[in-house]
Chains A and B, each alone.
Chain A
Amino acid sequence: MNKKEILKLAKGFRGRAKNCIRIARERVEKALQYSYRDRRNKKRDMRSLWIQSINAGTRQHGVNYGNFMHGLMKENIQLNRKVLSEISMHEPYSFKALVDISRNAFPGNKNVVLPTRKADVSINV
């Protein structure tokens, strides 16, 4: 890459790394290596985030993530975690239907303690 391209990629860098070619070249190479590595890491991170959000959604209905996924696998429902997390955020009634199906297929949770909703507690404005 020639100097112009490197300095274009170095926009927003700190100090001399955005202006001076010798320093910018090193920093840009490092940045490109990080982006290569992080394109792979992003997939892992997103999956972890989806699992956390599915876990939160199912625990509101008294089922934890592990039992929920086991129930779905038993029922041969092949929705992936990305879609399940989107549904748990935006389609609460559909998600509740999924949780019920999973609970019927695999009733794993005993001693269920449903969390109280803070929205139910009235606040004096």
Chain B
Amino acid sequence: MASSATFSTLVLSSSFATQCNVSNRHHQSCFLSSPPKIPIFSIPKPVSLKLTSLLSKTPTFFTIPKSSESDAAVVDVEPDNVEPEPEPEAAPEPEPEPASVVEASKEEPKREEIFAVVMIGGRQYIVFPGRYLYTQRLKGANVNDKIVLNKVLLVGTKTTTYIGKPVVTNAAVHAVVEEQGLNPKVVVFKYKKKKNYRRNIGHRQPNTRIRITGITGYQDYPAVTLES
């Protein structure tokens, strides 16, 4: 099972890398999809991620540090000799590039691999530390306010899952309000045929962008642990 543990970390890093490229927000730790992903995680990945991190909205984590972590995993697990060689070469190359990107990459090792399902404004979201999400407008929240979300329905880490019935007690998700804005406009067009009835209304729903900083307080809850 040790090999599967390293295998799963490799899958985690490779799949995070692919998800970061798409700027998606899902935590990919699926064991079943591991075989096709390993060959994809090859030479161009670290370099391309470095460049897209300047352009993408969410902070792309798991670029250089993850590739270094996966180097160890790759050497342990994979009999493939091609993969480990280009990666140590590719890793030091992008580092002399723009300093802003280097700062972002240095924060990445602090990212804990944990997710939570939180209920905000009547809707449930899967939430990761460091990523942002748009929710319904939170009244009375100003920009750069720290917010604690208490309705945490599920917390998951790499090895354990805390399933709330219905809420994980004392669990809290800390977030910072980034922006109070509006959704893109939708045109509400009402029309009745042959009755000369036309109404054209534009609508922008207010929203709030919050960035998740951390997930705490779940440790004492009864958990389901993975036996591996």
Task: Report the bound CA distance from A83 to B156 in whole Å.
Answer: 13
The answer to whether B126 and A77 touch across the interface, beta carbons within 8 angstroms, is no
The answer to whether B163 and A98 touch across the interface, beta carbons within 8 angstroms, is yes
The 0/1 profile, CB within 8 Å of A marked 1, for residues 212-226 of chain B is 000000000000101
A82 interfacial by beta-carbon distance below 8 Å: yes
A121 to chain B, nearest CB (A): 13
Task: Report the bound CA distance from A28 to B30 in whole Å.
Answer: 43
- Residues in chain B near residue A80, CB distance under 8 A: 124
The answer to whether B117 and A79 touch across the interface, beta carbons within 8 angstroms, is yes
With known contacts A83-B124, A83-B126, A93–B226 Cβ distance under 8 A: yes
A112 interfacial by beta-carbon distance below 8 Å: no
Q: Is the interface of A mostly helix, strand, loop or mixed?
A: helix
The 0/1 profile, CB within 8 Å of B marked 1, for residues 31-49 of chain A is 0110110010000000000
The 0/1 profile, CB within 8 Å of B marked 1, for residues 52-94 of chain A is 0000000000000000000000011111101100110111111
- Residues in chain A near residue B58, CB distance under 8 A: none
Range, interface on chain B = 20 to 34
A97 interfacial by beta-carbon distance below 8 Å: yes
The answer to whether B35 and A90 touch across the interface, beta carbons within 8 angstroms, is no
The answer to whether A90 and B165 touch across the interface, beta carbons within 8 angstroms, is no
Task: Report the bound CA distance from A82 to B117 in whole Å.
Answer: 11
With known contacts A39-B186, A83-B124, A90–B166 Cβ distance under 8 A: no
In the complex, which of the residues B115, B187, B190 has the most CB atoms of chain A within 10 Å of its own CB atom? B187
Count of A-B contacts judged by CB separation below 8 Å:
78
Write the chain A residue with the least CB distance to B34. A119
A114 interfacial by beta-carbon distance below 8 Å: no
With known contacts A83-B126, A86-B126, A92-B30, A76–B165 Cβ distance under 8 A: yes
Which residues of chain B from 31 to 45 have a CB within 8 Å of any chain A CB? 31-32, 35
Write the chain A residue with the least CB distance to B117. A83
The answer to whether B117 and A32 touch across the interface, beta carbons within 8 angstroms, is no
The answer to whether A119 and B35 touch across the interface, beta carbons within 8 angstroms, is yes
Contact among A78, A90, A97, A117 for B30, CB-based, below 8 A: A90
Write the chain A residue with the least CB distance to B118. A83
- Residues in chain B near residue A92, CB distance under 8 A: 29-32
- Residues in chain A near residue B191, CB distance under 8 A: 29, 32-33
Write the chain A residue with the least CB distance to B153. A79
The answer to whether A79 and B154 touch across the interface, beta carbons within 8 angstroms, is yes
- Residues in chain B near residue A91, CB distance under 8 A: 27, 29-30, 115, 156, 161
The 0/1 profile, CB within 8 Å of A marked 1, for residues 157-179 of chain B is 00001011110000000000000
The answer to whether A94 and B156 touch across the interface, beta carbons within 8 angstroms, is yes
- By Cβ-Cβ distance, the 8 closest A-B pairs, closest first, are A32-B189, A78-B166, A97-B224, A94-B161, A94-B156, A83-B124, A76-B165, A97-B161
